[in-house]
Structure 1
Amino acid sequence: MRRPKVMCVLASLVLAAGSVFGAGQAGAATVPDATSGPVDPPAEFGSDWHDPVTAAPPVTTPGTRSCQVTVARAQFRDFTPYKGGYAPPKECGDRWSKVVLRLEGKVAGRQYDRLGYLHIGGVEVLRTSTPQPSPDGITWSVEKDVTRYSDTLRREQPVEMLIGNVVNETYTGVIDVKATLTFYAAEGRTKPAATPDRVLTLDGESLTTPRNSERIVAEVYATGSGGGCEEYWYLSVPEEAPYSCKTPDGPYREVQIKVDGQLAGIAAPFPTVWTGGWSNPFLWYVIPGPRAFDVKPVQYDLTPFAGRLNDGRPHRVEVSVVGVPEGQTGWSTPVNVLVWQDEGSQVVTGALTRHDNGVPANSSAYTVGSQHRVDTRGGHRLTVSGHVNTSHGRVVTTVDRTLANTSVHRWTDGENDDALKGTWTDHETVTTDGRGPATAVRAHRTYTMDGTTTLGAGDRLRTVLALGDRADTATERGGKRVSWSRLDDAYEGDATYTANVPRDQRHAVGTSSERYRLRGTAGCYDRSLKTAQGTVTEDRLRC
C-alpha cells in the first residue's frame, strides 16, 4: 500500500528499510516465556528477526473429530487473482460446531505491505494485510472463526483470492500463501445458535432476502487503503491547513449503510495501521497493530427493516463513508448479509416503526502557529425500531447507536514533527422484545491512537505510537445481566532509524509490546509480549 507524504518525505525511506510485521493469530512460534530466563537482544536490527506474533488468543476448538480442506494455494506476484474451487468435506457431515480458517504465508526480500481478500462463493470470509519481509524471509499465520459462513460452506463453491502485489528488480518479495478450512463435526443435527441460516451477497447494490427472514445482519469489511490519503484518513486536515493530506471536512469518517435510500446503520471505522504505517516499519517487525492481519467487519443489525425486505422484491443496499470527497477512491466496503429464518412461517411480515436520525456533528478547527494544529470533534446518533410477525409472536427490535470522535493533530512546517492523539467511540444497544423477557445486547467500543513521528538531527527518524482496541459487551435479559465480556488490546512501539541511507547503514533500534486482556463470563485470557530489535524478550500468560 503506497504511502503519501506523511511525516515528511518518508514514503521511499519506509520501503527501503524493508519492514516486517505480523498479526492476526500469528503463529504460536517458540518464544521465551516467564520461565525461560532473560533474552539479550542485538544492538540493532539485522537482516532477520522473529516471525510475526501477537498476544491475541487462538481460536478455541471443540473436542470433536475434524476434517481439513485446502481452499487456496498461490504465489502472488501481481494483481491476478487466484481462482479455484471448494468442496465441503464428506467425512464431517454438513453441520459443524465450528469452522476455522487458517492462512499461512511466507515472503522474503523487499516488498510493501499488501491488502488481500478471500472469497468463497462470492462471500468475503477474510480481509487481511501482509507483513513486509526481512531480507532472510519470514513466515506468518492467521486464524479466524468462520462458523457463521456455514451456509456457504455446505455446497461446492468457486474460490477467489487476491493479495495484489508488484514484483520487479526493486520489489522482490513474492507472497506465498496457503488457506485451509478445518471443520469440527457437530454432535447431533442442531446448528450453533449464532449461526445464520443463509449468507447472502449483494448483486451490485441489490439485495433479495428470503420472505421468512426474522433477523438480518449486514457485515461490511470497511478498509481505508490502497495508497493516498484515505489510508491515513485520521491524519487528514481541512483545506485551509498546510498539510500533505487534505479533505474538505477533515478527518471524521463514518461508515453508513442505507436501505432503499434510507439510513439504516452507522458505525465508526477502526483506525487500522498497516505494516509500514506511521513512516516506520521497524515498529511492526514482530508485533502488529491491532486487527492488521484479521480485519474485523463492521456489523449492522437490519432487523428493523426485515418487514420491508421480506416483500420478495430486490431492495437497494448502499454503503458509503462519510468524509471522503465525492469521486475519490480509497475505501473498500464489501458486504455480506446474514439471515436467520422463521422455520414456522413461509412469509414474515412487519414494519419499520421508528426512525430517529440525529443531526451529525463534524467540526475541524485549524489553528495557525509555529506548530500547526487541527482540533476535530464529530459524532452521530441513529435509532431505528421495527417489528416482525413471526410464528412465535410479534418481535420488536430497536437499534440505538451513538458515535463520537475527538482528535488533536499537531505538526511543524515540513511535517518533520507530526503528532496525533485521537479517540473513537461506538456505543450500540440492540433490544429485542417479544416472546419471553426483553433482551438487550450492549456494546461499548473505544479505539485510541496516540503517536508522534520526528525527523531529527542526522536524519534520525523516531516514531512513538500507542494503539488501543477496547470493547465492553453485556447481555441483559429481563433487566438482569446474564453475560458480559471486556476486551483490552493495547499496543505500544518506539523505533528509530537513519533515513536517506542504504539499508545496512540505518542502525535501527526499536521496542514494541502488546497486552491482550479478555475477561468475562466465559473466563479470563491475559497475555503480554515484548520485543527489542526484532527479538521477543517476553511472552507472559497471566490467566
Structure 2
Amino acid sequence: MRRLLLALCAAAVGLTLGIGPATASAPPTEFGTDWHDPVTAGPPVSVPDTTSCKVTVADTEFRDYTPYRGTYLPPKACGDRWNKVVLRLEGAVAGRQYDRLGYLRIGGVEVLRTSTPEPSPEGITWNVEKDVTRYAATLRDRQPVEMLIGNLVNSTYTGVIKVKVTLTFYAAEGRVKPARTPDKVLTLDGAHQVGTVYEGQLTTPRNSERIVAEVYATGSGGGCEEFWYLTVPDAAPYSCKAKDGPYREVRVSVDGRLAGIAAPFPTVWTGGWSNPFLWYVIPGPRAFDVRPVEYDLTPFAGQLNDGEPHRIAISVAGVPEGQSGWSTPTNVLVWQDAGASRVTGALTAHRAGEPAGTVTHQPGTEHRLRAEGRDSLTVSGYLDTSHGRVTTTVDRNVANTSTHRWTEGESTDALQARWNDDETVVTRGRGPATVTRTHRAYTMDGEITGGTGERLRTVMTMGDRSDSATVRAGERLDWSHLDDTYTGDAAYNQNVPREQRHATGVSRERYRLFGPGTCHDRTLATAQGELTEDRRNC
C-alpha cells in the first residue's frame, strides 16, 4: 500500500450524497472533466406531515484548518416537542482537491462526522441527510457551534469547500407523538488525548436508568492507521507496520475497568485504495455519514450515579504505542427515571477477555499474511428504580479474519477480510425479560494491480450488514435488516497529466433496509462518471 500512502499522506478524508435520474444515453468510454454529482443509495430520513421549522447552523467555506464558529438558536415556531429533527448538509467544490474529514458540534456534542468527495475540474455539489432526533435535549437550548473540514488551498489544490448546514424540526401534533429521546446528551469534561487513549470525566444525573455511549471512531489522517486493516508485523516486508498485525478493537472503560468493546467499520474515503475514480459518483459505505459505535453502559449506572465525576477512556487495541491516526470523540446519552430523584445499584458481573488471535506470514514471490483476532466481554448490573429492580446484562463478541496478499514493491496489493460484532442485551424487571440481539458483519475484498507500472487498476467489494431483533415472552417487538453492498472496478494511467490518464471505472451500490413500516431497496450503477441505473424495488 506504499503508493496509496504517498498519494494520501498530505490529506485527510472523503464524503457525499445526492440523487439524480439515470442517464438515458450511453456512457462515455472514459472519464472526462465533469461527472455526475455524488449519490448514495441509502434511504432519505422519513418525516411526518406536520408543522416544520428550518434553522441554519452553518453557512461557510473551508480553505484551511480554521474552524467555523457560530451560535445555534432553537426554532420558536415549532415548540420543543418534536417528532423528528433532520440535519442536511449541502456542499460544493470545484477544481482539484483531496478528500477531507470534517465534523460538526453543537453545544460540544458531535452531531455529524463526515468527509468530502474529490471534485471534478468543473465542480460538483452533494448533500448529506442525517436523523439527529436523538440529540433533541441539546437542541432545545441556545448552543455554541463549531464546524471544521480541514482543507489546504494553493496553486495546485484549488478546491475551496463550501457548505451549508441546516436543521429541520418537525413538530409533534395530533396523532404524531414526540419522539422518545434521551433526557440528556453529555460530553466528556476535560477530554484530551493521552498517548493513544482519549479520556475525560463524566458526571451523570443521580437518577439515570439507562446510559449509552456513542464513539465516532475513525482511523484517518493519511498515515497507516487510515489503512489499519492492511498493517503487518515488523518482520514482514510491507510499508505499513503494526507489531500485532491488523486487528483493531474500539474499547471503552469506566474508572479503569473495561466497559465495552466493538469492531470498527473499515471505512474507505473517496481517495482510498489509490483510486479516486472508484468513488467519484458512488462513495463507499459510511464514507459521508460516519455512524458512531454504540455501547450500552447501563450495567455501570449504579456506579456512575453517585454524583461524582468518573474517568471514561476510549482506546483502540492493536494500535502501536505512540502511533497517531485515530479519532474517537464521544457522546453519552442518558435516560432518567422520572419517578425518582436518586437511582442506586451495582455492577454484579464482569467477565472480560483480552484481544487474542494469530498472525501468520508466508513469504514468497507473493507474500501472504493470514490474521485472526477475537475478544469478548460480559457485564451485568442492577438498578433499584421507581418501577422496581431492573437488571441489565450486556454480552458482546467481536472477531476478525483476513488474508492480505502483496508482491515485491506492492505492485499487487490485495485484502479479503471480515469483521463480526455480535451483541446481546437482556433487561430483566417486572414480567418477562426483554432480549435484543444484534449481529453486525463488515466485509472487504479489494485488489490493486499495476501499483508500480504505467496503469493502475483497483477492484473492490465492500459490505455493511446488520440484523437486529427485540423479543419479550416470545413476541417480536422490533426488528431490522440492513444490507449495503458496494462494488467497483476502475483503472487509470499513472504519473501523467489528468488529460492523459484515460481513466475508466464502473461502480454499483445496492442498499436494502427492512423493518416494521420500513421497506427500502435501491440500486445505483455508474460507468465513467455517468449514472447508468437508479432502480427502486420498494
Fold agreement, TM-score > 0.5: yes
For 1:316, the equivalent position in structure 2 comes to 311
Alignment match, 2:55: 69
Q: Does the 8 Å CA contact 1:21/1:285 hold for their aligned counterparts?
A: no
Q: Cα distance, 1:13 vs. partner?
A: 5.8
* Partner SS, residue 187 of structure 1: coil
Counterpart for residue 422 of structure 1:
417
1:171 corresponds to which residue?
Answer: 157
CA–CA distance in 2 between the matches of 1:229 and 1:395?
Answer: 44
- The change in CA–CA distance for 1:358 and 1:479 in structure 2 (over 3 A counts) is farther
2:27 matched to 1:9?
Answer: no
CA distance in structure 1 between the aligned counterparts of 2:232 and 2:403, rounded to whole angstroms: 11
1:326 CA drift (Å): 1.3
Among residues 9, 32, 43, which one is paired with 1:57 in the alignment? 43
- Contact 1:52–1:140 under 8 Å retained in 2: yes
Choose from 306, 320, 328 the match for 2:323. 328
Residue equivalent to 1:192: 179
Q: Distance in 2 between matches of 1:521 and 1:539?
A: 25
Q: Does the 8 Å contact 2:92/2:126 carry over to 1?
A: yes
1:389-400 correspondence to structure 2 within 5 Å: 389-400=384-395
Match of 1:3 in 2: none
Is contact 1:22-1:51 (8 Å) kept? no
Aligned to 2:352: 357
1:13–1:500 contact (8 Å) kept in structure 2: no
Q: CA deviation at 1:213?
A: 0.1
Amino acid of the structure 1 residue aligned with 2:3? V
**1:456 and 1:348, CA in 2 relative to 1: closer, same or farther beyond 3 A?**
closer
Against the structure 1 CA distance between its residues 79 and 14, is the aligned structure 2 distance closer, same or farther, given a 3 Å change threshold?
A: closer
Q: Which residue of 2 aligns with 1:487?
A: 482
Contact 2:15-2:289 at 8 Å conserved across structures: no
Alignment of 1:146-161 (within 5 A): 146-161=132-147
Match of 2:467 among 462, 465, 472: 472
CA distance in 2, matches of 1:190, 1:49: 43
Mapped to 1, the partners of 2:158 and 2:379 lie a distance apart of: 51
Question: Quick one: which amino acid aligns to residue 320 of structure 2?
Answer: P
Instruction: Name the amino acid aligned to 2:140.
Output: R
Amino acid at match of 2:179: P
Q: Give the structure-2-normalised TM-score.
A: 0.96
Cα distance, 1:522 vs. partner? 2.4
1:406 lines up with 2:396 in the alignment:
no
Partner SS for 2:114: strand
Partner of 1:376: 371
- The match for 1:519 is 514
Shift, 1:61, TM fit: 0.4
Q: Is it true that 1:142 corresponds to 2:128 in the alignment?
A: yes
The partner residue of 1:118 within 93, 104, 107 is 104
CA distance in 1, matches of 2:116, 2:384: 46
After superposition, the CA RMSD in angstroms is 1.8
Q: What is the alpha-carbon distance in structure 2 between the residues aligned to residue 266 and residue 12 of structure 1?
A: 32
**TM-score, L = length of structure 1:** 0.95
Deviations 1:292-342 (A, max 9, x none): 000000000000000000001000000000011112110000000000000
* Residue of structure 2 in register with 1:532 after alignment: 527
Q: Secondary structure at the match of 1:278?
A: coil
- Please give the alpha-carbon distance, in whole angstroms, between the structure 2 residues aligned to 1:315 and 1:122: 19
Q: CA deviation at 1:521?
A: 2.4
Moved over 3 A (4+): 10-16, 20-23, 188-191
Out of 230, 235, 253, the residue aligned to residue 225 of structure 2 is: 230
Identity %: 69
Describe how 1:260-339 pairs up with structure 2 within 5 A.
Answer: 260-339=255-334
Give unpaired runs (5+ residues) of structure 1. Answer: 1-5
Query: Residue deviations 1:493-535, cap 9 Å, x none?
Result: 0000000111100000000000001123223211000100000
Task: Determine if the alignment matches structure 1 residue 129 to structure 2 residue 115.
Answer: yes
| One-letter amino acid of the structure 2 residue matched with residue 384 of structure 1 | V
1:439 to 434, 439, 445: 434
SS of corresponding position for 1:277: coil
Give the alignment of 1:248-263 within 5 angstroms: 248-263=243-258
How many aligned residue pairs are there? 528
* Alignment partner of 1:45 is 2:39: no
Distance 1:192 1:458 in 2: 56
On the 8 A contact 1:21/1:281 being kept in 2, the answer is no
Moved more, 63-72 or 179-188: 179-188
**Which runs of no fewer than 5 residues in structure 2 stay unpaired?**
192-199
- Partner residue, 2:340: 345
Distance change (3 Å), C-alpha of 1:202 and 1:75:
same
Aligned-partner Cα distance in 1 for 2:365–2:158 = 42
C-alpha deviation, 1:361, in angstroms: 1.2
CA pair 281-15 structure 1, distance change in 2 beyond 3 A: farther
